[in-house]
Chains A and B, each alone.
Chain A
Amino acid sequence: MADPAISVTGVDRIFGKSRKQVVALKDVDLTVAAGEFVSLIGPSGCGKSTLLRLVADLDTPTTGDIRVFGKVARQARLDQDYGIAFQQAGLLPWRTVAGNIELPLKLHGADAAVRKNRVAELIELVGLTDFAKSHPDQLSGGMQQRVAIARALAESPKLLLMDEPFGALDEITRERMQNELVKICAETGAAVLFVTHSIPEAVFLSDRVVVMSPRPGRITGIVDVRADGLAGAHDRTERARDEEGFFHAVAEVRSLLHGTPETATAARGVDNR
């Protein structure tokens, strides 16, 4: 069988030294299959972004092993096996939309004709053809984020890492972007690791939702959305938001986030953390 897109085994990440040390991640195991859409959800400080950064090799685990398509994370980064998008679109303001999308291709020495075609394709994919020559400051937040996604897709990666890419958008733009992302993922067939703190977003987009809790950051449960009767992430339409399975999965994730119902009741009024 082919290597999974991501496999994380026994990972700890500890920041700081001796007394001041903070355990950001404790004993994390996670596997993301090729083409699978997995969301990480949890309150602030649960280490979801840290985990994504470890997979991207923007940070290194204190202990444990991370493999991307069977390679160590560093090699996968150097081989450009993933595309990445952050909460901040992070576009270079002095480059046009086309120039920004082109950037990774240019940095990795793709020749001009190839770049031009690929950029035209991607701009079309994210529906910004009319804005190819605009600069980022002329675009709305949602449009900027679309450019960032197009840039992440530039080298046709089989894995997308997304760190709250829609976190700064308003609710309406956000749902539209989610619909588009589902479409894009279906077209590219890429696996996605998606960090969010919105439960409906996680459920709507994902095959599986990984619920995390803080202090120390760890995985408390995994909800398989498909088991609730929703289509796989790639075949989903916006109608999925109205299906019963959707609400069921949302409730499931919520109860995992807030602990089991019994302990939640027992703790109420006692623990006001």
Chain B
Amino acid sequence: MAQIWNRFRAVILGVLGVAAVVVTWDLYKALGPEEGVLVGDTRVLPRTTDLAMPHSWEMLQRFGDPVTGLPGAPDAFDAVFDASMFSLGLAARGWVIGVVVGLVLALVMSRLRIVESALLPWVILSQTVPLIAIAPLVRRWGSEITIFGHVWSSEDSVAVIAAYLAFFPVAVGALRGLKSPDATHLDLMRAYGVGWWRSLVTLRLPSSVPYLLPALRLAAASAVIGAVVAEVSIGLKGGLGRMVIDYAVAASGDPAKPWAPIFGAVAIGLVSAGAIGLLGLVLRPFRLTGASNG
């Protein structure tokens, strides 16, 4: 009973949270000064014109209207939905690649101290390189690769760049998780005379789950961002990245339009976070790790 109530409360609070944002937006738009709020010459709150802040319901309505005035243009909703699915697909590919690479790196680093010392600084350094700098490189290198007759496409480049962002939290989180077992547990495994592989499966992997789940969620968010940004940098059509740029051009005449792909991006972010939530349910028993005082 209490559990159902907790569920219910979570849903209500979630809805209230979204409603609060919408209400704040429209209240400010209705009551705020036309020119925004300025401190000296710095604008700290935006203009409230229809151009700068379309009504929330206009943004929603926009989904029902055709993308452009051209005859036969699809509804904005359909266009955004297709683009979102496209980007989500690339992000998912990137996530899978990133998770595999991250896990392998973490395993090797946890196995051999020297590999950890050699590799970890590079792993961290890799995230300081701006994405837009590596995107063209990935594309160029990729164009020279053919794997078993599969010709490297721009989609592959986007997935790899998404993976480039996604592997990082997994590598770091999994490494921490794999090193998390107590000394007592490690002694026990040694006393049982089991090798690295068996103790990995019985002890290290299960106890890394509480570290792994947040890392996987972070990786999912990173993969979505990576996919969208990489689409822009590489100039791949069909996804949300290009759509953001294309629709932004329409802002002056159709201020609600640029918001459509942004909502699309939010939606696929939520979908991927939700997918990790499901994974968390499957791995639930192992989340007890570390909670025990034993």
> Which among B182, B191, B194, B286 is the interface contact of A84 at CB below 8 angstroms?
B191
- The answer to whether B184 touches A88 (Cβ under 8 A) is yes
Answer yes or no: A183 CB below 8 A from chain B CBs. Answer: no
Q: In the complex, A4 Cα to B213 Cα: how many Å?
A: 50
* Contact (A136, B192) CB under 8 Å given A90-B184, A107-B202: no
Tell whether, in the assembled complex, residue A86 and residue B184 are in contact, meaning their CB atoms are under 8 Å apart.
yes
- B187-240, CB < 8 A from A: 187-188, 190-194, 198, 202-203, 206
Residue A135 interfacial (CB < 8 Å) = yes
Chain B residues whose CB sits within 8 angstroms of the CB of A88 once the complex forms: 182, 184, 294
Contacting pair A91 B294 (CB below 8 A): yes
> Which listed residue (B191, B194, B206, B293) contacts A94, Cβ 8 A?
B206
* Contact A92 to B203, CB < 8 A, known contacts A58-B190, A80-B192, A137-B291: yes
- Cβ-based interface call for A240 (8 A): no
Say yes or no for B285: interface residue by CB 8 A criterion: yes
Q: How many residues of A contact B (CB 8 A)?
A: 28
B-side contacts of A57, CB under 8 Å? 190
B192, A108: Cβ atoms closer than 8 Å: yes
B292 at the interface (CB under 8 A from A): yes
Chain A residues with CB below 8 A from B203, complex form: 92
A104 located at the interface, meaning its Cβ lies under 8 Å from any Cβ of chain B in the complex? yes
A94 to B180, CA, bound (A): 14
* Given contact pairs A94-B286, A94-B289, A108-B192, A144 touches B294 in the complex (Cβ within 8 A): yes
Q: How far, in whole Å, are A90 and B286 apart by their CA atoms in the complex?
A: 15
Confirm or deny: B43 has a beta carbon within 8 angstroms of a beta carbon on chain A.
no
- In the bound assembly, the distance between CA atoms of A137 and B188 in angstroms comes to 19
Is A56's CB within 8 Å of the partner chain B?
yes
How does the 8 Å CB contact mask read for A176-188 relative to B, with 1 for contact and 0 for none?
Answer: 0000000000000
Question: Does the CB pair A93–B292 fall under 8 Å?
Answer: yes
Distance (whole angstroms) from the CB of B175 to the closest CB of chain A? 20
Contacts of A94 in B (CB 8 A): 206, 285-286, 288-289
Tell whether A226 is near chain B: CB-to-CB under 8 Å: no
Most buried by B among A80, A89, A90, A136: A90
Taking the complex as formed, is B64 at the interface, i.e. its CB lies under 8 A from any CB of chain A? no
Digitize A56-84: 1 where CB-to-B-CB distance is under 8 Å, 0 elsewhere.
11100000000000000000011010101
Q: Which residues of A contact B (CB under 8 A)?
A: 53, 56-58, 77-78, 80, 82, 84, 86, 88-94, 103-104, 107-108, 135-137, 139, 141, 144, 148
User: Sorted from nearest, which 6 A-B pairs have the closest CB atoms?
Assistant: A90-B184, A93-B292, A89-B294, A93-B288, A88-B184, A144-B294
10 A-B interface contacts by CB (under 8 A): A56-B191, A77-B190, A77-B191, A80-B192, A84-B188, A86-B184, A89-B294, A90-B187, A94-B289, A137-B292
